[in-house]
Structure 1
Amino acid sequence: MLEDFRLIVDLVSILAAAAVGGIIAGLAKQPPLLGYIVGGAIVGPTGLGLIKELVPVETLAQFGAAFLLFALGVEFSFAELKKVQKISLGGGGLQILLTILVTTVISVSVGWVATPQQGVFLGAILSLSSTAVVLKSLMESNETATPHGQVMLGILVVQDLALGFMLAVLPALDRPPAEIGMAVLYAAVKIGLFAIGATITGIWVVPRLLRLLASTESQELFLLGVVTLCLGIALITEHLGLSIEMGAFVAGLMISEAEYADQTLAYVEPIRDVFAALFFAAIGMLIDPRFLWENLDLILGLVSIVFIGKFAIITPLVRLFGYPLQTALIAGLGLAQIGEFSFVLASEGRNLGLVSRRVYLLLLGTTAVTLVVTPFILRLIPSLFNWIESVPSLDRWFQPGDPPLEVSEHVPLEPPIVICGYGRTGQNLATLLAEQNVPVVVVDQSESAIQRLRESGTPYIYGNAVSIPVLTRAGLDRARAMVIALPDAMSTRLCLKHALEISPELDIVVRANQYQDIELLYQLGGSEVVQPEFEASLEMASHLLVKIGLPTVQIQRQVKAIRNSHYMELRPEGTIGESSQNIQAATLGMNRRWYRLSLTSPLLGNSIASANIRTLTGATIVAIQREDGTQINYPNGGTTFNLGDSCLVIGSVEEQTMFDLLTKGEISIPVLPLSVLETFPEAIVEREVS
């Protein structure tokens, strides 16, 4: 078969295998990248043998890693990198050094390697985590903007940059210390010069180039120019002995500060996804299933050592830099694998004679297994914390009790409006309220956000908005209202719940990042839940309806009705199963439990409002399943309890205990005034799903 035609057949085979594997993984509710890796292993040289030449496919797969990191650079930006600069530079650097040091000491002591240089090489391989797998998993779960997501990406960026040092120093490892020092110095000079050149290019060249491309008004030319820029810088870094992936990431950072960053990302994403699938499939092709099976015990032992060791190094480091224990644990679990760039180091080390073929294959097998296992671990983390919350002896360690790191000098004396989260929404709100001379206090845990608040003179609390001491210091007990505009759903829910524990009657406006969270946030006590995409649709529709001549009063009435219905008309229509799955997904990271009401339960015949459940127990009912199988998702206050009902309740261990006592009649239900009961008339339609 002609070589050119062979490459086409190989590409078609690998993309088809990746597509089939991704589809099967999706049907099995697993991450698609797992299907890509398995698909590559099946058609690779050690599987069915449909693909025999790996070099051309691996070369194309590098484009996948390059485009993945290019898109990361465009999305991440220097501004985002500054938010976690301390943990990324300090924590990431310490993590690499500690991993190399610990690995060298252990491997030399137990005889895994013959020389300290080989131990350093092994430590360098183990110190790298998988940017591609972690980034893909965070994107699929929409967690790239969360605190743990930012921490992990910041550390991964430093690891990727360190690859250039490692590749430069690697050939000198078996030489005298003086030559190793010169190699390190040479690598530092190269990276420093490249950084200076990249900064100059990013400031003076890239914005002008993008404006020139955009002025052609041709999507094809814009895409061609951006791809050329990305791969051109990637080739420069490869020529400097750093890595193609590092150059692509830096190219993305350059574009991230330009005005056409969003347009660039929209054009590149389809290409990125195709080549990323090829990249993960190429990783799968490196796996030798027979070698894995023959050395399964040894490889599983190595995988366990890697996960435990890296977790034990990363978790304390993240905690040391002032992040909550939960964030530290998630980062430790999420980064406790060996990265795809370790393949590059391992291959180079084998060529230099630093490792034997057997050790090389063991490294490949261990790395591949950790990459496959990582998406499962990241998806199991919410369930892990759900279990931890149900164990009182463990739960007390995870209570968000971190004090404020800093409090501004000019906290208003009069009742303020507390804004949690100083992203774009928080900044706009603070500006608008300040123009009306309304006192505000902003709560945020990003150093860059706090610096902007210092410069603007806006009162702030530097700390985790989920922490009860931080919220207390913000003055919730005397606040006029509160706004929650945090980047991730978990922090939003916990912040809302803890705020109402401090001030049960507080008027709280919450931003729902996803429409699936709207009802849960209302159920947890939010006074108003705003969904940005739905609000944009309403504003655009209002403008258009005014233009075509509809009365303004009629438009406002319709918009108000949609908001009062919690955007029900705008939500995608879902099946019963999807509705139930949304509840399961929304409450996944929360302590939840089903309770079946007994024949003698005092709740029978009472409504949720008349039972005064939230005030008496602090728990929240998010679903009621009737005896005939019908289910009421997010029941309102007028929903009554019937014989045979089962209630899905979320709350802390103490709140669950109090609810259990209430269902058994060990806590009496007070008689509420008629005015309260009339707030929830029977005319309210229950959202029953049969």
Structure 2
Amino acid sequence: MAEASHLTPILAPMVFLGAAVIAVPLAKRAGLGSVLGYIAAGIVIGPWGLGLFGEPERVAGIAEFGIVLLLFIIGLELNIGRLWALRRDILGLGLGTAQVLLCAALLAPLPWLLGHGWAAAVVAGLGLALSSTALVMQLLEEKGELEAPHGRTAFAVLLLQDLAIVPLLALVAFLSPHPAAAEHPAWVGVALGLGAVAAVVLAGRYLLNPLFGLLARSGAREIMTAAALLVVLGAAGLMALAGLSMALGAFLAGVLLAESNYRHELEADIEPFRGLLLGLFFLSVGMSVDLGVVWAQAPLLLAGVLLLVALKALATYGAARAFGHPPATALRVGLVLAQGGEFGFVLYSAAAAAGVMAPSLASLLVALVTLSMATTPPLLRLAPRLLALCRRPMPEEDYSDARGSVLVVGFGRFGQLVSQVLLRQGLSLTLLDNDTHRIQEAGRFGARVHYGDGTRLDVLRAAGAGRARMIVVCTDRPEVTDRVVAVVQEAFPETPCLVRAYDRVHALALMARGIEAPVRETVESALLLGREALLALGLPREEAQAAEHAVRLRDRERLAAQAMGGPFIGPEPLTPPRPQHAPGQPAPEAVPGE
């Protein structure tokens, strides 16, 4: 094994970038995700692979800034209001606290049963209860699930865990058999932490917006980038000096800038640095894998990884269900938080240095955390199958009062507005949806919505599809809409069927099935916004309405032509661009051929 890096300062970055460029596309092509690609590349170039880098902790010190920048960008996507909405899962005895304590209670006895002391077992269990913020947020971002219910819940739990590292490090110092003399009384440390948080909050509230405004007026784009990095590193460094998490400081700075006029520019400036440094962090994780420990303790580590992932997934699922989250959300949160986290590396290093646990146990736990992180991407790929296996049977529903003249399938935001129009004319409706939460919410407002899957013929028959004068399909997902339409057309071909289309391509597919006039969900709102924009620019109402009508008519003609000749007929836009003219002034002559 190499003792140190033998690469020159020029070759070292080339090796990092080359390893990432080769490994990440291969991993993503295999469906394993970019994170596993980075970790595998780190193993190959690390001290137990090719030996190109012998001291991965030096790289990790720089790579940790990737987590700092990640938390800053997450903060930019939030604001104080949205953060307050997550308070139930973050603060006090919320889901985050319950998840950490429950996982620690299940995992701490395992090291004790292997012969380690109770103090080492407690620290080991608490460290294993933490999950990887960097890994989870990267995977959720790749899948576009950051704003999904399980994404928001997982983020709240991870934020609590990031905050928990401070008291956990204090616990390590308290359990140390040879504690160092404290430099300051405990109240001084608390005051420093509160002062650092207050300084970040006040600076973000009163200084950052004027600062970025001044820099923006200077016209120097590179200075804006430098200022953005300075803000992130300054907030992180201030928190570190106060003994708190650097990631917490960056997150607070991001939240305070979430309402800024410069939010999107800051995000664009930081994003390239965040991506590279986060990749470097996962490379350092792979480099830190001690293959000697892995080979020597392979059976124990394999059993430990399986037990760790299973216990954490079950405990997190149970805690999420206890706090009122739906089964599907709870299962996804359990799977996404089933691994160990990077803060475990910090905790175990501190515990070994303080004499709380043996260095051999700390190395074993670091290997266990790293291997558990590698299980997360393939585990998430199994989530849809597990959800299908664990899906509960449809509850019993009484359709005796389903006597409406119009059957509306899907009672989401689209179906609710459609129903309001029909009810306004005194029509009786039978409403059908398979979202129990939505049904309960509708019941609070006096709407009777029947539970049922509109893709099932028996449910449609029970809901009165055979007696209805019309069936209106308002489901959200195109694939579900297609299945409902197929069943309706086969079983009730004489009943008129109006269908909501997701977009133009979906509308053409429905027209090919025989649906005469599918309604695209965004067309009318977009045309209305265009008309209002013309009015705001000063055009007379008659001219704005005429423009709206012309676009609508041309769109219908084009859709009909595409239905006859394929979706890509004609490359030209709906209306060819015209030379600009002042609002309210006569437009130039139409483009020939229009």
| TM-score, normalising length: structure 2 | 0.71
Q: Note the 1:344-363 alignment, pairs <5 A.
A: 344-363=346-365
Asked whether the 8 Å contact 1:237–1:244 carries over to 2, the reply is yes
Asked whether the 8 Å contact 2:473–2:481 carries over to 1, the reply is no
Q: How many angstroms does 1:284 deviate by?
A: 0.7
- State the one-letter code of the partner of 1:252: G
Between 267-276 and 493-502, the greater mean CA deviation after superposition: 493-502
Assess, with a 3 A threshold, how the Cα gap between structure 1 residues 558 and 106 changes in structure 2: closer, same or farther: same
Could you report, residue by residue, the CA deviation over 1:384-405 in whole angstroms, capped at 9, with x for unpaired residues? Answer: 334x1xxxxx54x265899xxx
Q: How many angstroms does 1:560 deviate by?
A: 3.1
1:420 is aligned to: 412
1:364 is aligned to: 366
- State the one-letter code of the partner of 1:92: G
- State the one-letter code of the partner of 1:97: L
Q: Note the 1:389-408 alignment, pairs <5 A.
A: 394-395=390-391, 397=392, 399=394
Higher relative contact order (CA 8 A, sep 6+): 2
Q: Secondary structure at the match of 1:6?
A: coil
Q: Note the 1:6-405 alignment, pairs <5 A.
A: 6-89=8-91, 90-108=94-112, 110-115=113-118, 117-174=119-176, 191-386=193-388, 388=389, 394-395=390-391, 397=392, 399=394
* Percent identical: 25
| TM-score, normalising length: structure 1 | 0.62
Could you report, residue by residue, the CA deviation over 1:56-84 in whole angstroms, capped at 9, with x for unpaired residues? Answer: 31122112111122212212433433443
- State the one-letter code of the partner of 1:114: G
Asked whether the 8 Å contact 1:73–1:253 carries over to 2, the reply is yes
Between 495-504 and 198-207, the greater mean CA deviation after superposition: 495-504
Assess, with a 3 A threshold, how the Cα gap between structure 1 residues 460 and 176 changes in structure 2: closer, same or farther: farther
Asked whether the 8 Å contact 1:350–1:357 carries over to 2, the reply is yes
User: Paired residues, what number?
Assistant: 519
Q: How many angstroms does 1:282 deviate by?
A: 0.9
Distance 2:29 2:425 in 1: 51
Could you report, residue by residue, the CA deviation over 1:394-434 in whole angstroms, capped at 9, with x for unpaired residues? Answer: 54x265899xxxxxxxxxxxx9999736xxx99xx99xx99
- State the one-letter code of the partner of 2:312: K
Distance 1:241 1:33 in 2: 29
1:560 is aligned to: 556
Q: How many angstroms does 1:266 deviate by?
A: 2.2
Q: Is the aligned partner of 1:528 residue 2:519?
A: yes
Distance 1:247 1:520 in 2: 51
Q: Secondary structure at the match of 1:339?
A: coil
Distance 1:82 1:570 in 2: 50
Distance 2:127 2:302 in 1: 17
Q: How many angstroms does 1:351 deviate by?
A: 1.4
Distance 1:259 1:466 in 2: 45
Q: How many angstroms does 1:264 deviate by?
A: 1.9
Q: How many angstroms does 1:55 deviate by?
A: 3.7
- State the one-letter code of the partner of 1:65: I
Q: Secondary structure at the match of 2:382?
A: helix
Distance 2:25 2:5 in 1: 30
Asked whether the 8 Å contact 2:133–2:158 carries over to 1, the reply is yes
Assess, with a 3 A threshold, how the Cα gap between structure 1 residues 562 and 64 changes in structure 2: closer, same or farther: farther
Asked whether the 8 Å contact 2:75–2:252 carries over to 1, the reply is yes
Assess, with a 3 A threshold, how the Cα gap between structure 1 residues 227 and 484 changes in structure 2: closer, same or farther: farther
Q: How many angstroms does 1:175 deviate by?
A: 6.4
Which structure has the larger Rg over C-alpha atoms?
2
Assess, with a 3 A threshold, how the Cα gap between structure 1 residues 309 and 552 changes in structure 2: closer, same or farther: closer
Asked whether the 8 Å contact 2:33–2:377 carries over to 1, the reply is yes
Q: Note the 1:606-617 alignment, pairs <5 A.
A: none
Between 99-108 and 135-144, the greater mean CA deviation after superposition: 99-108
Distance 1:228 1:278 in 2: 20
Q: Secondary structure at the match of 1:151?
A: helix
- State the one-letter code of the partner of 1:381: A
Question: What are the ranges of 5 or more consecutive residues in structure 2 without an aligned counterpart?
Answer: 398-406, 454-458, 572-594
Assess, with a 3 A threshold, how the Cα gap between structure 1 residues 302 and 204 changes in structure 2: closer, same or farther: same
- State the one-letter code of the partner of 1:420: G
Assess, with a 3 A threshold, how the Cα gap between structure 1 residues 164 and 462 changes in structure 2: closer, same or farther: farther
Asked whether the 8 Å contact 2:7–2:52 carries over to 1, the reply is no
1:408 is aligned to: none
- State the one-letter code of the partner of 1:173: L
Assess, with a 3 A threshold, how the Cα gap between structure 1 residues 551 and 189 changes in structure 2: closer, same or farther: closer
Asked whether the 8 Å contact 1:419–1:482 carries over to 2, the reply is no
Q: Secondary structure at the match of 2:82?
A: helix
Asked whether the 8 Å contact 2:201–2:252 carries over to 1, the reply is no
